[in-house]
Structure formats: C-alpha cells, structure tokens
Chains A and B, each alone.
Chain A
Amino acid sequence: MIPFEYVRATDVAGAVAAGAAPGAAYLAAGTNLLDLMKGGVARPTRLVDITRLPGLAAVERRDDGGVRIGALARNSDLAHDPAFAEAYPAVAEALLSGASAQLRNAATAAGNVMQRTRCAYFTDPGSACNKRRPGSGCDAIGGETRLHAILGWSEACIATHPSDFCVPLVALDAGVEIAGPAGTRLVPLESFHRLPGTTPERETVLEPGELITALVLPPEAAAFAGHSRYLKVRDRTSYAFAVVSAAAALRLEGGRIAEARLALGGVALKPWRSRDAEGLLAGRAPDAAAFREAADAALAGARPSGDNAFKIELSRRLAVRALTAAAAGTPARLPALPGSVLAPAPEAAHV
C-alpha cells in the first residue's frame, strides 16, 4: 500500500471538494478498497473517509411509496430491515447471498454498487490489464475465463461486475442519487455502470468528485413483493461470488403475468437487465414455455469470451428457475441459504 493522506469528511460538500482532487478516493467500509490497496491495484494518494457523513445511513420511506437507501446503509442492516425485506425480498435475498456476515456488517450500499471487478488479472499487478493500465492489453483473454463475461464485453475487456445487490436493484428500476461539484443528479442504475467498449478504465458515469448519496427505488418496485426471487450459482455453497445469478420479479393478475422483471448477474460488466425478456412475458401465463422463451431472449446476444460458453446455457436455466420460483411466490421467510440453488440440505450434509 502506498502512503496516503487521510481526510475525514464531515459534510457532503466537503467530501465532494476533497474527493475531486487527483488521486483521491472515497473510503466507506473499505472492504473492497483496502483489499485493492494492499494488492497495489488501487493507489489513491488521499482517502476521503465518508463514514461520518450525517444522514447517509438511513433507509427512508418516501411519501410516494418509494424508498431511499442511504449510501452508508450497511448491507446487513438493509437486508434485515423488516419493512424493507418485506417490500423488496429479492434485494434482501441478494444481499444475504453475498460475501459473509462480517463483510455485510461493514459493507455499505454505495460501496457495493461501486465495487470493482474480481477479474484475477485485474487484481494481479503483474498481468496486463486495460482497466488497471489503459492500453496495456488484457491477459484474461485466452486465460482463465470461468468468471468472465458472456454479454456486452469487448476486445479490450471481458470482465464482469461482481455485485449481487445490483441485480435485483436494476430489475426494480433503481436510481442512483449523486452529489457533485455541479449539484445533484439521479441516474438510472441501468445506465450507471459502463460497458467496457474501448475504455474499460471508465467504469461508471461518475465524474471526479462525484459521490453517491443514495439509491432510490420507485413506488412501483414494491408491487413485485409477492413474487420475487434471487438465485445465484456459486462454486461453493456460501461466501463466494456468483458464477451467474438471476433476479426475477413478477406481478400476476388473474393467473397471467401483468408485468415481469428479469436481470442477470455475473454475465457482464454491469448488472444485466433484459427488457426483451420482460416484454415477452407480459400478458402470458406463468408457465415453463413462457419462461424458456424469456430466457432465450435474455441470452440472445450472448457470446463466450473464452472458455465460458457453459455460462450461456447455465444463465438460461437459472433465469427459468428464478422465474419459476418467483411465480410460485416469495417464501414467507428467506431460505436458510439465501439465493442458493441447492435444495435445503439434510442435517450436516455438507460440513
């Protein structure tokens, strides 16, 4: 870790001013940033500690029926907020399927959205990586690509965004509230992360100094509460990133799908919402044929970026399964293994 100046921000305007300086980075819980700094991947020369900014940890219901998740709300506090989990069960399930209890206790909502890719070549300063060092090449191409993208990738970068939280959020039309030197703005989460194109080093739409102050769910998002699931295929039962994941949410009326939401995780450099799939499902009966058509539509543009063609069919099947589970109804209590595709194991089955 290179030396840095530590600055503790006490208000948003001060944070934005301190964060706009070249070499500055915002510090929330640090569970991603410190990890990357230890590895020499992130090399900020100034850390602006935002954990004491007043009022940013709250989860507030809005008069219009929406909800505002403060940037500093801890992942576990949000997932275990009973009113929040009841209204947005797939978001709670996604949060609880991520990382570990210790990490969720620390990690903040905005930090989760801003976390960097887990591409092993990105985290190894000895490898060529266009994201870490623009123009240096991409050692992932032709390398180990199990966790790499099948949608939206480019010849410059084939990495994925690792967040679970973002997947149901994008399905539910979340917005990102941003404060910056020029004032505040609200950007749809769907267009917040950038696909790599020729500039994989530009990861989000944030400009220097801009700070996420909240994530906002619109009033309609709660209408899916009865039929929402998040499923996540992992290489081990728990405490692992997604190989692929899917968030499905349905609004059923008279035995038909009035409205559907579907998003995939672990497939692209952003949480991947499929409006084509959603459109196909509207008005249909919630059955296997409809779900398979929707899954086909969601993966229509998918291409392997290496040795990962298996992820395409895996994503289709997971999408079908998440939609099927959503149609069956949100469970009254979150499953013991949130997001797990494994059936509840008998006592001591996997210790």
Chain B
Amino acid sequence: MSFDIVLTVNGTRRTIPIPDPRVTLLDLLRESLHLTGAKKGCDRGQCGACTVLVDGRRINSCLALAASLDGAEILTIEGLAEGDRLHPVQEAFITHDGFQCGFCTPGQIMSAVGLIREAQAGDDPERVREAMSGNLCRCGAYAGITEAVLEAQKALSQNAPTTRQGEAA
C-alpha cells in the first residue's frame, strides 16, 4: 500500500511518497530526504540523538511513524541556521564546548531549542539538566551543554521580539 504524505520540512512544503507505512520519521528524514543531521543512536527512544521538532515540539523521531505525521511541520538541525548565521543555541554549544565527538549534538541542540520554547526550566541549572535528560552524551559533555542551554536561553530572551527563522518555524 503506497501513498503520499505532505510535510513542511525546514520551511519547505513537500509531498513525500510513503512506499511502506513502516517508515519512521527518522528513517524518512535520513533515507528519503537525505537530511542526516538527526542521528540514529538507539532507534528505541533511549538516547535522544534523533530529536527533531514536530509542530514546534521536540520528540524522538525514531519512535514516530511518518504516516501518522501527515501535514506536520518538521524542524531539523539543518533548518536552524540562517545561511552562515548560526542559531544562538548552535553558537552557545561552540562557546561552551557542548560537544566532543558531535554524534549526540544535533539531538542535543534540537532538544535545547525545544526546551527553551517550553519555558519551564527558567535559569535553574538543575531544571535544565532534568529537562535535557532525554539526550545522552557518551563523551560526557554535559557540563558544557547545561551552560550552553542557559546562555542561549538568555540570548534568545534578549532578542525575543525579533523572530528568527528557526524560531518561527
């Protein structure tokens, strides 16, 4: 049974054939759309490497059936920067050494973008750590990640009225 779904991926509306309903959002992004930023760490919801935003909310794309998301807006790490201008969360990860090998990083960054939108953690590092606990980092860059999230959150709240592309999607 083959059918099409429509997704707006990083701002572009696309009609995407689904040859087999078994495909997850993660496999669709990586294999069909060649957006390999979202990583397949565990494929079972246990690591967060596949985190993307769906309709503005961070989820694990490995445990989402693509067919079920017909009509949704997807934001991946590839859609975050504006040309050469990095998103404040990306900048903060560089400033604070929020990664080492980089494998978990697209998931960490998308998760951080989602966390900042959720606006539940405030400036409490413990709440930030708790809210980022769905993203594992085997290199143990956690200290830098927490600092990066806090700083990016501050930067984003300062230029709040001007919506950036990544924020508006």
Contacts and interface: CB of A to CB of B under 8 A. Distances in A.
A162 B127 CA distance: 24
B155 interface: no
Contact of A102 (B111, B124, B130): B111
B16 interface: no
Interface in B48-71: 48, 51, 57-60, 63-65, 67-68
B43 A101 contact: no
A49 B127 CA distance: 34
A30 interface: yes
B24 interface: yes
A100 B146 CA distance: 16
A336 B63 contact: no
Interface stretch (A1-9, A168-176, A217-225, A297-305): A1-9
A337 B126 CA distance: 8
A80 interface: yes
B99 interface: no
Contact of B124 (A34, A336, A338): A336
A27 to B, nearest CB: 6
Interface in A307-351: 336-338, 344-345, 347-348, 350-351
Interface string B66-85: 01100000000000000000
Contact of B130 (A8, A29, A47, A238): A238
Q: Is the interface of A mostly helix, strand, loop or mixed?
A: loop
Contacts, number: 108
Nearest to B129: A351
A341 to B, nearest CB: 14
A293 interface: no
B45 interface: yes
A31 interface: yes
B134 A348 contact: no
Interface residues of A, number: 37
A154 interface: no
Contacts of A106: 57, 59-60, 63-64
B118 interface: yes
Given A5-B1, A237-B133, 19 more contacts: A5-B21, A6-B65, A6-B67, A8-B68, A30-B68, A49-B67, A76-B57, A76-B118, A100-B48, A101-B132, A101-B134, A102-B45, A102-B48, A102-B51, A103-B134, A106-B64, A237-B130, A336-B127, A351-B129
